[in-house]
Amino acid sequence: MKTISFFNLKGGCGKTTSAVNLGYLLAKKLEKTGEKLLYIDCDMQSNLTNSLMDYDLERPCIYHLFTDDKEIKDVIYPVRDNIALIPSSLLMATVEPRLAGMVGREFILKRKIAAIADQYAYCIVDCSPSFSIVTTNAIIITDKIFIPVQTEYYAVDGVHLLEETLGYINQSLGIEKTISLLFATLHDTRNNINKIQYDNLKNTFGKRFMDSYIRKNISLVESPIFKQSIFEYKPRAKGAEDYKKLFNEIESKGGF
Ligand SMILES: Nc1ncnc2c1ncn2[C@@H]1O[C@H](COP(=O)(O)OP(=O)(O)OP(=O)(O)O)[C@@H](O)[C@H]1O
Ligand SMILES: [Mg+2]
């Protein structure tokens, strides 16, 4: 199983939207070979979960995995023919203090995931916009880190902060995780600031910064309400076109 995490310390930059839609396209491709994809929602806001299934605070979820109350098989739910999800819930708001003093707390997810890794070709992790024990758990199981970036002021600075955070995690745990690729989200090609920041990101991160970008598109806001990806909700929307283009670029560059 290859694991891709969507990560950025900045909130609202399109991590969840990108995880849902790039994940969906990846799953469609896997369908042809009979392979499966697993989503993991590592954010207490549970936006990924709510984009794919109804909210249920009673349902065993990733919280129970972290607290050792449930086995991994008890927290995996099918959401499409070849897509499963480990959901999150608001309970995750209380997990950090419980993990704080625990030995090996950064490796909980890694230990648990090992039991099911052979059942899925890919795992897509949606991270919260914070540096925490849960986020560190996610980074540890990750092979590729994808960074959605809004082309606003301080876009480049924000990514540098992220690299420093990764450096800190690497140093303290003896691992070597780096940003695999970045792409622009909520991008408006007519907006001067967006254009300047896009160029800054390209100049700074070069090949790692994808040429394809995701424009602002209201259908991307609406589709989670119907528990659908953009490709199920409005396959002809600008958002669907953009995510398909981005998917193709990432694929052609060996990004997956
Ligand atoms: N391309 C887009 N066009 C218009 N709205 C978008 C687009 N991408 C995301 N959004 C909307 O912006 C908001 C933030 O997006 P999203 O939840 O994907 O970001 P996030 O990085 O996961 O946020 P958080 O840090 O809170 O987890 C959501 O309301 C989402 O529907
Ligand atoms: Mg999110």
For residue 155, report the distance from its CA to the centre of ligand 2, in Å: 18
Closest atom of ligand 1 to 242 CA is 1
**Which long-range contacts link 190-197 to residues 24+ away (Cβ below 8 Å)?**
191/151, 193/151, 193/152, 193/153, 194/151, 194/152, 195/151, 197/151, 197/152, 197/153, 197/155, 197/156
CB 225 within 8 A of CB 17: no
Closest atom of ligand 1 to 17 CA is 18
For residue 26, report the distance from its CA to the centre of ligand 2, in Å: 19
pLDDT band for 246, please (50, 70, 90 cuts).
very high
pLDDT of 233 higher than 90 = yes
Pocket of ligand 1 (CB under 6 A): 11-17, 43, 45, 47, 129, 185-186, 214, 216-217, 220-221, 239
Residue to mutate (ligand 1; options 13, 128, 221, 242; most atoms within 8 A of CB): 221
Q: How many domains does the chain have?
A: 1
Identify the CA nearest to 112 among candidates 146, 145, 71.
71
Which neighbouring-strand residues pair with 126? Answer: 6, 41
Crossing angle between the packed helical segments 238-252 and 15-31, to the nearest 10 degrees: 70
pLDDT band for 112, please (50, 70, 90 cuts).
very high
- Per-residue pLDDT tens over the stretch 39-56: 999 999 999 999 999 989
Per-residue pLDDT at 117: 96
Residue to mutate (ligand 1; options 5, 16, 218; most atoms within 8 A of CB): 16
For residue 213, report the distance from its CA to the centre of ligand 1, in Å: 14
Give alpha helix (H) positions in the chain: 15-31, 47-52, 62-66, 95-99, 108-113, 133-140, 155-173, 192-205, 218-222, 230-233, 238-252
Per-residue pLDDT at 103: 92
* CATH code where residue 167 lies: 3.40.50.300
Per-residue pLDDT at 55: 87
CB 167 within 8 A of CB 177: no
Instruction: Say how far apart CA 132 and CA 144 lie, in whole Å.
Output: 19
CB 138 within 8 A of CB 40: yes
Q: What is the pTM of this model?
A: 0.97
Task: Identify the domain containing residue 223 by its residue range.
Answer: 2-252
First-last CA distance in the chain: 12
The mean pLDDT value of the chain amounts to: 96
pLDDT of 82 higher than 90 = yes
